[in-house]
Amino acid sequence: MINSRFFNRSELMGFIALAAVLFVILPLTLDVFRLNLVAKYLTYAFVALGLVLCWGYGGILSLGQGVFFGLGGYCMAMFLKLEASSVENTKIQSTPGIPDFMDWNQITSLPLFWQPFHSLTFTILAIILVPGVFALIIGTAMFKRRVGGTYFAIITQAVAAILTILIVGQQGYTGGINGMTDLRTLKGWDIRPDHAKVILYFVEVVLLFACIGIAQFIRLTKLGRILVAMREQEDRVRFSGYSVANFKIFAFCMAAVFAAIGGAMFALNVGFMSPSFVGIVPSIEMVIYTAVGGRMSIFGAIWGALLVNFAKTSLSESFPQLWLFGLGALFIAVVLAFPNGLSGLWADYVQPRIDRLFASRKPKRDWKDNSVADGAPAE
């Protein structure tokens, strides 16, 4: 049965809590530098959101989300870089009007695949379509042949490795290991000063909530039910006449597009893009955020991305040695002890107490049974 309400009560509370923290509390309490850091963490929340759909619901573990994050980020960065390399900005180069790293690598004209990135419309389309089509190709090739599980994870990981080596190796076209730095303006609007960072933060949060809405919509429709059914008993879904491969491809493409939006926002908020956000290590870290937050919970994954990154920054600032031990122990603990992550803990320990609180306040009404049913862990 499809729930007629968009959010049930506990999800509504999660939604309000997240909206309050992101829209009100953090902007009021943090200075611009820290707020910009939060914006950086939130770009990973997009990836985590995609992974909830693809891994939590669809059961497809992709270790190549960094690829899509990177593709989105590089599309955005290419546009910004072209705008920053106008002829007057680059007049000291031997070839003015092309990005500085091309000039350093003795490239004298803008390569053909860079040309369309002069247009913002094309760039925005590319941010969605390039990763989407790429995911479609990989997904079609793999899922139509019923490759899944561990094999899929390893192959996506290999794709992440390939893209990183390619970006690092072709430094004349991509900026190499340093990536694309010194991004300045978006259509003439300077993205570097403080007020721009605040505006970009809010744009990002609004986009994030739009993506949450899409994810929640997918989860509630029949599509979401089929994804869960597929994860639990793939063969039965296939025997019931559904094309399992198409649903998997869809989930994987959605995850890719979410990751690409995150990557594009990363390039805007942080002001550069480099291969160190594309490869194997960042891709696995993105999976970890999802696992820590709860692979089954849309809001949990976002909290996971925020909290793990926050812990990473503060711990690695003060105890650089301990951080990796802590992170490693965290992975092991999450996998062994809390497979549903923070949201699982919340649903098991905190939510029942809140429900009891509500139930005891309204003892005389006949809602008690209802509220118990509501309080059962979502999914």
Partner 1 sequence: MFGDYSLGDLGSIFVMQGFAGLILFSVYVLMALGLAIIFGQMGVINMAHGEFMILGAYVTWMTSSFFQSYLPSLFSGYFFLAMILAFIASGALGMLVEWVLIRHLYKRPLDTLLATWGLSLILQQAYRSVFGAREVGVELPQWMLGSLHVTDSIEVPINGVFVMCLTVLITISVAYVMYKSRWGRQVRAVVQNRIMAGAVGINTEKVDRYTFGLGCGIAGIAGSAFTMIGSTGPTSGQLYIVDTFLVVVFGGAASLVGTIASAFSISQTQSTLEFFMSGSMAKVLTLLAVVGILMLRPQGLFALKVRK
Q: Of the candidates 324, 350, 372, 376, which one interacts with partner 1 according to CB under 8 A?
A: 324
| CA-based radius of gyration for the chain | 22
Q: Is 251 near partner 1 (CB under 8 A)?
A: no
Closest approach of Cβ 135 to partner 1, in Å? Answer: 14
Closest approach of Cβ 116 to partner 1, in Å? Answer: 24
Q: Is 157 near partner 1 (CB under 8 A)?
A: yes
Q: Is 288 near partner 1 (CB under 8 A)?
A: yes
d(CA 278, CA 295): 21
Q: Is 318 near partner 1 (CB under 8 A)?
A: no
Q: Is 228 near partner 1 (CB under 8 A)?
A: no
- How far is CA 84 from its chain centroid? 26
With beta carbons less than 8 A apart as the criterion, state whether 36 and 269 touch.
yes
Closest approach of Cβ 291 to partner 1, in Å? Answer: 6
Q: Of the candidates 17, 87, 166, 210, which one interacts with partner 1 according to CB under 8 A?
A: 166
Between residues 61 and 268, which has the closer beta carbon with respect to partner 1? 61
> What residue ranges in 74-201 does DSSP mark as E strands?
185-186, 189-190
Q: What is the DSSP string of 2-67?
A: --SSSS-HHHHHHHHHHHIIIIIIHHHHS-HHHHHHHHHHHHHHHHHHHHIIIIIIT----S-HHH
Q: x/- site string to partner 1, residues 326 to 365, per CB under 8 A?
A: -xxxxxx-xxx--x--------------------------
- Helices 222-232, 194-220: axis angle to 10 degrees equals 80
Between residues 42 and 288, which has the closer beta carbon with respect to partner 1? 288
Between residues 211 and 334, which has the closer beta carbon with respect to partner 1? 334
Q: Of the candidates 45, 142, 245, 347, which one interacts with partner 1 according to CB under 8 A?
A: 142
Between residues 42 and 291, which has the closer beta carbon with respect to partner 1? 291
Closest CA to 193 of 33, 24, 79: 33
* Cα distances (Å, whole numbers) of residue 185 to 38, 76, 77, 349: 21, 12, 11, 48
Give me the sign of the Cα torsion angle 63, 56, 54, 265.
negative
- Residue type at 139 in one-letter notation: G
Closest approach of Cβ 338 to partner 1, in Å? Answer: 12
Between residues 17 and 335, which has the closer beta carbon with respect to partner 1? 335
Between residues 15 and 173, which has the closer beta carbon with respect to partner 1? 173
Q: Is 319 near partner 1 (CB under 8 A)?
A: no
User: What is the DSSP secondary structure assignment for residue 377, as one 8-state letter?
Assistant: P
Q: Of the candidates 120, 154, 210, 376, which one interacts with partner 1 according to CB under 8 A?
A: 154
Counting every residue, how long is the chain?
379
**Dihedral angle at the C-alpha atoms of 314, 318, 322, 324, nearest 10 degrees?**
50
Which residues sit at the interface with partner 1, rule CB under 8 A?
61, 63, 141-142, 145-147, 149-151, 153-155, 157-159, 161-162, 165-166, 168-169, 280-281, 284, 287-288, 291, 321, 324-325, 327-332, 334-336, 339
